[in-house]
Amino acid sequence: MWQFDLKYIWIHGEDRWCFLLAFIDVVSKKVTGYYVGKTCKAGDLVTTLNEALNKEGITKDHQLIIRSDNGPQMSSNRFFFYLKRLEQKLKHEFIPPRSPDRNAYIEAFNSIIEIEVLQVKYFRNFSEVYETIFEFIEFYNNRRLHGSLKFKSPKKFIEGVNNGSITPCKISV
């Protein structure tokens, strides 16, 4: 299962918002795909998901559930018809309104990025935001230790699962 959501980021020097759209794997805690932009429309969601599916090697042989809130990008016709055209066994679940606990993994990631990056950084421009988010996700996926992964990074956790030294726990979603 992947969960996804949008995060608003304030650009102090430009006095405007920009957006982070991120997909997270609930087992490995890996950010499988993300987009940072001055806008975030349904087409950006389609492109980001498509890139993540390709990068992670998700094919029609995989049964993947993606879960989101009911935001306008997620409930758009463009995204709906994109999902219908996919040959994969991909299922999109919407969480009920006012129930962020049903999307806890992406909400936790958004909280982490808020505390560790956004609250401590002054952004002069969009380029700084983009570079900072890129660097943080690289750190988050490859070096940041996660208590729920027995203090391994998502990268080390996935390597352990692949070589048989780690058996992933079943997660209730």
Spatial separation of the C-alpha atoms in residues 136 and 59, rounded to whole Å: 28
Q: Does the pTM exceed 0.85?
A: yes
CA 136, 153, 102, 76 torsion-angle sign: positive
What pLDDT, on a 0 to 100 scale, did the predictor assign at position 165? 83
For range 18-22, the mean pLDDT = 98
- Position with higher pLDDT, 26 vs 100: 26
In the structure, what pLDDT confidence band is assigned to residue 151 with cuts at 50, 70 and 90?
confident
Q: Please write the tens of the pLDDT for every residue from 56-106.
A: 999 888 889 999 999 999 999 999 999 998 877 789 999 998 888 899 999
Tokens of 39: 């806008």
Torsion angle of the four alpha carbons 34, 154, 65, 44, in this order, in degrees rounded to the nearest 10 = 0
Residue spans per domain, the chain: 2-163
Tokens of 91: 């299922």
Coil, helix or strand at residue 117:
helix
The CATH number of domain 2-163, selected from 3.40.1830.10, 3.20.20.450, 3.40.140.10, 3.30.420.10? 3.30.420.10
What pLDDT, on a 0 to 100 scale, did the predictor assign at position 170? 63
